[in-house]
């Protein structure tokens, strides 16, 4: 009996061991780690060093050797497109890799700085297509990530003009036109500093795409929302002094129909946004930020309110004095053009009133006091009380009287 029980235990043990062995064989053992992510990161490190060194051969070596030049097909000749841009840094950080055999798509954050202008890297998400050949990965394409805006070099070869206070980057623009933008920006910057002060970088980067659609591509937004808008300024409101420089993006379709005076006002307005960004926060209403930028734009030009605010003048003359200062929704680019103009004009005249009836220094102090608040609620009320010694109700009534006096 004992012998038979021993035999059965031995048989069971062998069955268990056999089952374990079969399971190990069926699972194939521990999966070998996929080294693609690390290899792709090293490839992109090489690519970044080639961009910075203007090493075209090194850049081409990271591209697919099955093409004639190794250039990424979907995005055009990226190296040649951006080689004129003065860069001080360029780096990729791979965040995810989706592999299927010898093909892969990598998500990466591209960070770069324009030499002398960006205090910290600009970071933008990118998508790269890759192919593995003979045990090595190569880039076959690079493009903005889904829902991310394009970079200027995604649209073609970038031309460059340098001013005293400006750097102008353009697509499809001749050198004379780019120099013209640099001249306008160089006149704008001192005007802004004279009004706001010198606690900002004192220089701007201007992007001039080829068309309205190209402008919208840079902003990652529908073109219809910017039709008729001559320029916009990008950048994080309330950013620290270490934040990247803003970009003034021109709509060449709308900007091109302006006269010399209008072109200068637009560049000065947008340069003001660059200067005030660090003092602009979620607490700052658009009537103040846009009105202040217009105040700087028109300052010392000799233009009267009637000349610079024709839409609001027509409303006031017709007896339609606004019941309140413009709200943020009144500044939507998709609004009726006349209503949008009245919103900008109303904000400008509010700032002009403060400069005239209080002082320019108190206007600046008011702007800074509003932006120093963390939340919108109560921010304007507190600054009106502490800086201007008034209330929202009295300020609005005073503004309405000012409109009747200056425009009626």
pLDDT digit string, tens, across residues 153-184: 999 999 999 999 999 999 999 999 999 999 99
| Per-domain residue ranges of the chain | 36-148, 151-278, 281-408
pLDDT attached to residue 45: 98
Under the phi-then-psi rule, with left for phi > 0, alpha for psi from -120 to 50, and beta for the rest, what region is 202? left
pLDDT tens for residues 11-69?
433 333 333 343 333 444 443 446 899 999 999 999 999 999 999 999 999 998 876 44
Residue matched to tokens 């043990």: 13
Report, as an integer, the average pLDDT of 212-220: 94
What whole-number distance in Å separates Cα of residue 357 and Cα of residue 117? 37
Q: Measured in whole angstroms, how far is the alpha carbon of residue 333 from the centre of its chain?
A: 17
pLDDT tens for residues 180-211?
999 999 999 999 999 999 999 999 999 999 99
Residue range 151-278 in CATH 3.40.1010.10:
no
- More confident position, 310 or 238: 310
Whole-structure pTM value: 0.86
The mean predicted confidence, pLDDT, of the chain is: 88
Share above pLDDT 90 across residues of the chain, in percent, rounded to a whole number: 80
pLDDT attached to residue 336: 81
What whole-number distance in Å separates Cα of residue 288 and Cα of residue 305? 17
Per DSSP, the three-state class of 247 is strand
pLDDT attached to residue 334: 66
pLDDT tens for residues 389-401?
999 999 999 999 9
Range from 164-173, 241-250, 316-325 carrying the lowest mean pLDDT: 241-250
Q: Is the pLDDT of residue 8 over 60?
A: no
What whole-number distance in Å separates Cα of residue 393 and Cα of residue 222? 38
pLDDT tens for residues 357-374?
999 999 999 999 999 999
Which CATH number does the domain 36-148 belong to among 3.10.450.50, 1.10.10.10, 3.30.300.30, 3.30.365.10? 3.10.450.50
User: What is the 3-state secondary structure of 294-318?
Assistant: HHHHHCCCCCCHHHHCHHHHHHHHC
Distances (CA, A) of 142 to 95, 146, 175, 255, 382: 15, 12, 28, 31, 49
Share above pLDDT 70 across residues of the chain, in percent, rounded to a whole number: 86
pLDDT attached to residue 23: 38
The number of beta carbons lying within 10 Å of the beta carbon of residue 113 is 19
Burial class of residue 337 (count of CB atoms within 10 Å of its CB; 0-12, 13-18, 19+): exposed
Q: Is the pLDDT of residue 75 over 70?
A: no
């Amino acid at each position: 009996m004992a012998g038979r029980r021993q035999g059965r235990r031995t048989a069971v043990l062998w069955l268990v061991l056999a089952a374990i062995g079969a399971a190990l064989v069926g699972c194939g053992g521990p999966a070998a780690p996929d080294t693609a992510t690390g290899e792709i990161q090293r490839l992109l490190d090489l690519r970044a060093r080639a961009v910075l060194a203007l090493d075209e051969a090194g850049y081409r070596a990271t591209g697919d050797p099955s093409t004639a030049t190794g250039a990424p097909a979907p995005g055009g000749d990226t190296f040649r497109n951006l080689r004129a841009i003065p860069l001080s840094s360029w780096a990729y950080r791979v965040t995810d890799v989706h592999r299927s055999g010898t093909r892969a798509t990598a998500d990466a954050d591209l960070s770069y700085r324009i030499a002398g202008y960006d205090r910290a890297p600009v970071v933008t998400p990118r998508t790269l297509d890759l192919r593995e050949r003979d045990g090595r990965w190569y880039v076959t394409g690079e493009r903005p990530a889904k829902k991310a805006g394009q970079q200027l070099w995604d649209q073609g070869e970038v031309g460059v003009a340098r001013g005293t206070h400006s750097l102008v980057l353009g697509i499809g623009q001749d050198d004379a036109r780019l120099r013209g933008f640099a001249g306008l920006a160089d006149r704008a910057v001192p005007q802004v500093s004279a009004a706001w002060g010198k606690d900002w970088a004192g220089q701007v980067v201007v992007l001039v795409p080829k068309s309205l659609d190209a402008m919208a591509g840079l902003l990652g937004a529908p073109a219809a929302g910017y039709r008729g808008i001559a320029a916009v300024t990008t950048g994080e409101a309330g950013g620290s002094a270490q934040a990247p420089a803003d970009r003034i993006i021109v709509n060449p379709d709308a900007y091109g129909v302006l006269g010399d005076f209008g072109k200068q006002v637009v560049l000065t307005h947008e340069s003001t946004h660059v200067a005030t960004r660090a003092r602009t926060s979620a607490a700052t209403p658009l009537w103040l930020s846009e009105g202040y930028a217009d105040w700087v734009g028109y300052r010392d030009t000799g233009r009267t309110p009637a000349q610079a605010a024709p839409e609001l003048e027509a409303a006031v003359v017709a007896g339609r004095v606004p019941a309140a200062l413009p709200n943020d929704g009144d500044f939507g680019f998709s609004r009726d053009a006349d209503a949008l103009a009245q919103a900008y004009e109303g904000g400008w005249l509010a700032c002009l009133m403060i400069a005239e009836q209080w002082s320019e220094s108190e206007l600046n102090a008011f702007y800074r006091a509003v932006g120093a608040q963390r939340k919108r609620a109560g921010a304007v009320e507190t600054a009106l009380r502490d800086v201007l010694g008034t209330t929202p109700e009295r300020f609005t009534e005073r503004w309405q009287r000012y409109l009747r006096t200056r425009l009626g």
